[in-house]
Amino acid sequence: MNSKIDAGLELISALGAIELKPIEIRDLLYKLISKDFNTIDEILEIAQKEKLLQRTEKTYLMTPGASSLQFEKPRIIKQEEWATCRFCKKKLSTGYYVVLKSHTYGPYGSSCIRKIYLDHLL
């Protein structure tokens, strides 16, 4: 598998939500992992095959305990730097990064990392 697929599966396994609407999970994958919708579709397809997700009529149910894949929880690191938020495009003096085993994503501003982290991740 490629690294974006691995990172997407890793992210899904770390989701704290019990269920998400398709638009919510796609939006999260789009913001953190890939802007390519084909890659997002592939991540969701593999996640269902690996039993990380179960698709119902209106939602995706998270089933991380059912998967044979092993992932670590993501970490958030803070770094003093001049950068641009990957999410809202504002200038930053402090960047926050989501660190997965396969990749690091960011930088994000303090309010954007809270939106991403607190809304969905453990």
Greatest alpha-carbon pair distance for the chain in Å reads 44
Q: Is the four-CA dihedral 78, 84, 85, 91 of positive or negative sign?
A: positive
For residue 8, give Cα distances in angstroms to 25, 38, 52, 56, 86: 10, 13, 11, 20, 17
List per-residue pLDDT tens for the chain, 122 residues long.
Answer: 588 898 898 888 877 667 888 998 898 898 888 889 999 999 999 999 988 898 988 898 888 665 666 666 778 899 999 999 988 899 999 999 988 877 788 899 988 887 776 555 54
What's this model's pTM, rounded to 2 decimal places? Answer: 0.75
* φ, ψ of residue 12 in degrees (nearest 5): -60, -40
Q: Name all domains of the chain by residue range, CATH numbers in brackets.
A: 3-66 (1.10.10.10), 75-120 (no CATH)
Residue 7: predicted pLDDT? 87
Residue 122: predicted pLDDT? 45
Residue 85: predicted pLDDT? 92
Residue 47: predicted pLDDT? 92
